[in-house]
Structure 1
């Protein structure tokens, strides 16, 4: 087997698409590396890094089958040969949330602990562990079949920095997921029960109307209750949690620190934000908060210190700000197809600073 064939076969294995014969071929290919002493220093370092991942991914190694361990042991070799950095996804049955931000792939974890790598240009069928068709992927969206169920079974999707993705839930609700977000959702909704999903990050919802089954978004410290409407929810770590209503009506609730519940009813064009353990109602321009769905990056007269996280998620970069005075500078604008360099140069028109780009790291410096 040549390198190209092995690469394609390993990709199939990561997607759980290998036949038994192909698994045997991959087994033999991996086994051929057991006596190979020719790894260079770079590959050796990657092997050591992978050992650390292995310790986290497989705490009970004695319970794993030999082939699984063999694939894991030599995954570093595949990293060296093919650059398959996303392979770490497949080998973690736990701890996914801790590493998902460090690799460049959309991941769906099914109720039976399968972990599916989703490529945005693919068209594929999503099946359950019994072989039934649950949904279908058409490039940047997965559509789930309209299946009622008596028992709720949940999937979870992670969208890394630099990517966006869409879901059509089994009730017809559309969900647009922003970069650095995750959503836990049922693959089918039970009749006469609340349609409940769990969000971390940011998403825009177009909820299918169903007066008998209210829809609820649980977003850490707030809940958003609706019947059928369009709205945006954001609850990234270390950022203000808020909900913005585009059309219809929603109730935003918050359980305060003294165990009481505060609620706000939103009208279109209003935002409820959680500030100092209280819900604050304000008028906003809705488009400013939802145009990320079209790939735009927008700022609403925001401090640079709060903008940094948005830049990191949108461009999949790390920003290190060594010029703290810049944090108090406010910026406003919409960036569509601009590169990270275009954005920084635009900022420099209204604030003096220097910057360096080192691979995926942006270092902000005091101007000379």
Structure 2
């Protein structure tokens, strides 16, 4: 433990009650070495104290960490804590003293929190496609320009031109590292992964994926939103899409996954090949899990925690790639969300009776004006459009 970063990491573990006895010993050793007190608790005392504490999440730890660092900034070694948190008093006092000892200022806290939790949540209503790199830095992708994507060592691992980003497979990476791409409302994008897999990303979608797939490891990506996958065949390395509580496992095929937060289910539509569907907290078992056939849709009902399948016309569910838009037995409030995402508009519905009505509709590449005109002509839904805001009366 010879650097501020190592001390900072150790203290974070200390605040989160994650230290091993050996790590607690390190804290004690440094504390005693600098003679901040002669009455320092033993490892056993500290373990007893930690055992009495409630488990904390990251936000709670961040709040405590902030208080500690503010105290260290003001050169204090004690902190006033409300009676409801009296169990933390001795513990936080120790942590504060450690911070004072090593001079870790508020700037370190701020940088640490910035690294782990972005201060500005991604705004899907922006116009920027954002690529978050493995080190937390971001690059803005413009379809009118080109960029080069580099790994932590500065090596070029990908190139973007227009609406497509292509990753190379010649990187010397030996361990998994991830990039995350975020597609705003009103846009679509294409991503070619290092194995040659092509992914079409719909608007309002986030995909986390390895910069390079590693031999011996599954090819796993993490999806929130909607994407169509054209997976490169590799029998030795299954391709797995994690969609929250659902995993979709293939060896090489074409399929669509829709995993938007407002939907009741995560839907998988198989165009060709074979797809295994199973809960993300389970291991894949071909004999027990749902195996989807071409021309079928598998739906994971999040509330019932069950998977249902039925035959469908796959073109309906993949038409979005070429600009189509389809609603099947969908509530109007969900249709509004999808229209906002597709066209990057704001829709205000003052007709509350419409919210839970269900509709079927299909459109080719139409403007929002024509879509709203359809709902007015067929279903008598009155509305006005001003700038990018639609008011339903």
Same fold (TM over 0.5): yes
1:1-368 alignment runs, 5 A limit: 63=107, 94-95=117-118, 98-147=121-170, 149-239=173-263, 240-254=265-279, 263-275=289-301, 276-365=304-393
Unaligned 5+ segments in structure 2 are 1-65, 70-104
What is the number of equivalent residue pairs in this alignment? 280
Alignment partners' CA distance in 1, 2:152 and 2:164: 21
**Bigger Rg, structure 1 or 2:** 2
Structure 1 residue ranges (4+ consecutive) displaced by more than 6 angstroms after TM superposition: none
Confirm or deny: 8 A CA contact 1:243 1:272 kept in the other structure.
yes
Residues 272 and 281, structure 1, Cα contact 8 Å, conserved in 2: yes
Gaps of 5+ in 1: 1-58, 69-90
Give the deviation of 1:330 after TM superposition: 4.2
Give the Å deviation of 1:114.
1.6
How has the CA–CA distance of structure 1 residues 115 and 194 changed in structure 2, closer, same or farther, with 3 Å as cutoff?
A: same
Q: 1:96 to 1:309 in 2, by over 3 A?
A: farther
Partner of 1:274: helix, strand, or coil?
Answer: strand
Please say if residues 142 and 167 of structure 1, whose CA atoms lie closer than 8 Å, have aligned partners that are also in contact.
yes
Q: Deviations over 1:51-72 (max 9, x none)?
A: xxxxxxxx999538xxx9xxxx
How far off is 1:336 after superposition?
Answer: 3.0
Q: Conserved in 2, the CA contact under 8 Å of 1:142 and 1:166?
A: yes
- 1:343 is paired with a residue whose SS is helix
d(CA) in 2 for partners of 1:153, 1:226: 22
3-state SS of the aligned residue for 2:271?
strand
CA distance in structure 2 between the partners assigned to 1:302 and 1:256 by the alignment? 29
Equivalent position SS for 1:224: strand
After TM superposition, the structure 1 stretch with the greater mean CA deviation from structure 2, 188-197 or 337-346, is 337-346
Aligned partner of residue 340 in structure 2, secondary structure: helix
Tell me the C-alpha RMSD between the 2 structures.
2.7
Shift of 1:333: 3.5
Deviation at 1:212, TM superposition (A): 0.7
Map Cα deviations across residues 23-73 of structure 1 (whole Å, 9 max, x no partner).
xxxxxxxxxxxxxxxxxxxxxxxxxxxxxxxxxxxx999538xxx9xxxxx
